[in-house]
Amino acid sequence: MANRPTNDFGGGKTGIAHLFAAGRYSLAGARVLANESAARHELLAFAAGLAVLRLCGAHFADYLVLSILFLILMGVEALNTSIEHIVDEVSPGKSEFARKAKDLGSLAVFVNLCAGGAYLLAVVARTFGWVEW
């Protein structure tokens, strides 16, 4: 089996030490994401979505689905942010490669936003009797 390269970020830790290191890295990533205005706007949109569910008298499952969609959105936003950081480092000037990479990351976030919006619209439609499900 080939040796895997390690880095200075805790490579080689095992067991509970690996678990704690992974938790620290995830918290560090959350701090980076919290500094992104897009992520803060998405958090506000999630809060607004929760308010819409409240006004609709939504079921627990509706809150659960919206929360899961939000968590997926945050994961995609984190990946998009990492793409942007890497592209900015690798290609500081304007390039077709950089534009395409950033556009695709943006599309991934947009698709997830559409999924959350569509779900909220479906709950509102159910509430007002426009659809049955």
Residue 57 near residue 106, CB atoms below 8 Å: no
pLDDT, averaged in runs of 10, over the chain (133 residues): 54 88 96 97 98 98 98 98 96 92 98 98 96 87
* Burial of residue 53, with CB atoms counted within 10 A of its CB: 0-12 exposed, 13-18 middle, 19 or more buried: buried
Residue 121 CA, chain-centre distance (Å), reads 20
Residues catalogued as catalytic:
77
Q: What is the pLDDT of residue 12?
A: 76
* The model's pTM: 0.86
Domains of the chain: 37-127 (1.10.287.3610)
Q: What is the pLDDT of residue 69?
A: 98
